[in-house]
Amino acid sequence: MVLLGSGWTYSCSNRQEKNRSELLRTGDRLFHQNACITCHSLDGKEVYGPPLDGLYMKEVEVVRQGETLTLTADRSYLKRAIADPRYEEVKGYESKDMPEVHISDEDIDLLVEYLMIISDSSETQAPLP
């Protein structure tokens, strides 16, 4: 029983590893194809918009209809920031605009997942194979 149990866990985490590198690849492609990279760095550097590495679950200050709010950059925040950039603006960036992106809902979800895993740990900073 014990062996069976650990075998299952092993193959399960193996599969996650595979999905993760696929997601890194796809996310990276979408991030470039949709010009996100022209405004957002993933290494903390200021380009035009805020850098996006380490954003997931960070506290962010946003301005929504003139009101400043402190939010946690969870999955739904990230999705909204990409799908509906006019809804609220990151504090300090009110004078800059993020254009509406015309990509499928599915691709937005992939970008959200991508931003989540690159925020996850430093190991993902390693270049893609």
Q: Which residues bind ligand HEC (CB under 6 A)?
A: 34-36, 38-40, 48-50, 52, 55, 60, 73, 78, 81-82, 85, 89-90, 93, 96, 98-99, 101, 111
What's the CA gap between 98 and 111, in Å, rounded?
Answer: 16
Q: How far is the CB of 1 from ligand HEC (least distance, A)?
A: 45
Our CB check for ligand HEC shows the closer of 11 and 104 to be 104
Q: How far is the CB of 125 from ligand HEC (least distance, A)?
A: 18
User: Does residue 81 contact residue 109 with C-beta atoms inside 8 Å?
Assistant: no
Q: How far is the CB of 63 from ligand HEC (least distance, A)?
A: 9
Our CB check for ligand HEC shows the closer of 13 and 70 to be 70
DSSP 19: H
Our CB check for ligand HEC shows the closer of 101 and 117 to be 101
Where helices occur in the chain by DSSP H, the ranges are: 2-33, 36-39, 75-83, 105-120
Helix, strand and coil percent figures for the chain, each rounded to 5? 50, 10, 40
Q: What is the residue whose two structure tokens read 């595979």? A: 18
Q: Kindly state the tokens that stand for 124.
A: 């993902």
Q: How far is the CB of 24 from ligand HEC (least distance, A)?
A: 15
End-to-end CA distance of the chain: 37
Our CB check for ligand HEC shows the closer of 21 and 38 to be 38
